[in-house]
Amino acid sequence: MSSAVAAIADYQVQAYNTSKDSDNKIHDDTVAKKFGFSGGLVPGVDVYAYLSHPAAEAWGRDWLERGSADCRLLLPVYDGATATVSAKPIAGEDNAMAITVESAGQLCAEGTARLPEAAPAAPDLADFPIAPLPDSRPPASPESLPAGGLMGTYELCLDDRLMAGYLDDVRETLPLYADAGLIHPGMISRFGNRALAENVVLGPWIHVGHAIQHFSAAKVGETLSVRARVSDNYERKGHLFVQQDAVVLAGGERLVARIDHTAIYEPRQVRAAE
């Protein structure tokens, strides 16, 4: 294991809810409390941004170009709370770390990050054709999110102003991104959310985890797009889940990342109220 991983100190962030005014009302204090939470949830993709910090600190641009990570979101992180990110080597593996995010004395997220010698084989983009976003989004349901279904392609230009604001919002302290003009992996993970939210109408919903494989570093000023398919749709403990297989491209051509993204698109509390 690289000694750089063992040397990484805990990283602390004063969490910030970037989605207080979003369409997803799980981030609104009043609505979130109806679901049994203490307040609006800091978005899971932003908790992942915190979790990614040790990997980027240890491996820098190399990790953005061929590294991987996974993240399971276990308990909420709340606005203004301190989140502590800790990383330790994974025994028996080179260039691999286990990472946790704790807040208010609770384990809120956990995951792993790895830096292989080379990235795995890239997916065949023919399996992810460009598709139009729906003119009128249907409500999220097993029928509108069928396993194997192709989702409409969402794209966004990540310009200087947007990315400077993003780095401030996720309280990122590494100079890697601003100095080299590189896109933060937390922003890339947001495209998994957008693939879902731009294709169906959602009530309060919860991102619960993802796995991401990087293939190239995205740069500030590039337009990123996400093409996705529904890989699974299922019920567990009363919640309705959707799993997506998504690729993120720069300029519509260069593969940046592949994301396996999982969300509760209809919490059991919503179903019980129907």
Q: Are 55 and 113 in contact (CB under 8 A)?
A: yes
Q: What are phi and psi of 61, to 5 degrees?
A: -60, -30
The ranges assigned to domains in the chain are: 3-117+124-273
Instruction: Dig out the tokens for 195 from the structure.
Output: 């693939």
| Integer angstrom CA distances of residue 102 from 16, 237, 273 | 15, 25, 32
CATH topology (fold) of 3-117+124-273: Thiol Ester Dehydrase; Chain A (3.10.129)
Question: In the chain, where does DSSP find H-type helix?
Answer: 3-6, 29-34, 44-51, 53-59, 61-66, 160-169, 176-180, 185-197, 268-273
**Please, are residues 203 and 105 in contact by the beta-carbon 8 Å criterion?**
no
pLDDT tens digits for 89-125?
Answer: 999 999 999 999 999 999 999 999 999 999 899 999 9
> Digits of tens for pLDDT over the chain (274 positions)?
444 555 678 999 999 888 666 676 565 657 666 666 766 788 999 999 999 999 999 999 999 999 999 999 999 999 899 999 999 999 999 999 999 999 999 999 999 999 999 989 999 999 999 999 999 999 999 999 999 999 999 999 999 999 999 999 999 999 999 999 999 999 999 999 999 999 999 988 999 999 999 999 999 999 999 999 999 999 999 999 999 999 999 999 999 999 999 999 999 877 665 5
